[in-house]
Structure 1
Amino acid sequence: MPMRVDGDLFEAAKSVGAVASRSAAQQISHWARIGRELEASPGTSPRDVQRVLAGEAGYKYDNLGERDQAVVRASWDEQLDERRAKLNLATEFAKSGRSWSEADAQGHLVKRHHAQQDDA
């Protein structure tokens, strides 16, 4: 659903989103989901959550409360989904000339072979 956002917010989302391979709209949605979780939990520490997600020394997932851990897991799930959507191992293997195995729709093993091309 279309909506208007402040120009500064849009530019920030565009900038931060580029680092995480998200469009400005995807970044704003990401921020909204995290914000929803944070507002639902009065004991949540947004700064600690961000520090865990950034991998800062001294900030560990196990030290967060249950709600903070839920926010971190939601963010990790989103990041994994985005990375999986961009992943195309068949193309990568074919480009490098590597063979690979995978399961077909019925669960049967299928071996894929690609000969490496010689540079002439």
Structure 2
Amino acid sequence: MPHPTRIADDVYESARAVSAQEGRSTAEQINHWARVGREFSIHETAARSRVEAALAGMLAVDELDAAESKVYNAEVRVGIRDRLRNVDFGAVLAGRGIVTVALDDEGRLVEYHPDGSERIVAEQPAP
């Protein structure tokens, strides 16, 4: 029986794009990827051990063979994407005392100060 779950937008969109080529629905493609990933993750192999050692910094990346390097790079890419989704860069920079500048919802350029204050730097030009 299927269980409802949230899927990251990037995973869903990738699955939607690939599913037609693979002859699967989007849900079937996500399930396929999950099963392949599960099988890869649960089967402890020498190659997997080497990739995990490289990820932990216990083995130099240049010691991995071509196939191991592909897995290592995939793990790193996914790890970076996952971490970036959970980082509030404004809060991190404010904690370091850095003023940031960004567009607000109205298209104005705004300075955000570490003390929580804001200053509009430029208004959006009229069309």
Q: TM-score, normalised by structure 1?
A: 0.49
Structure 2-normalised TM-score? 0.47
Which structure: larger Rg?
Answer: 2
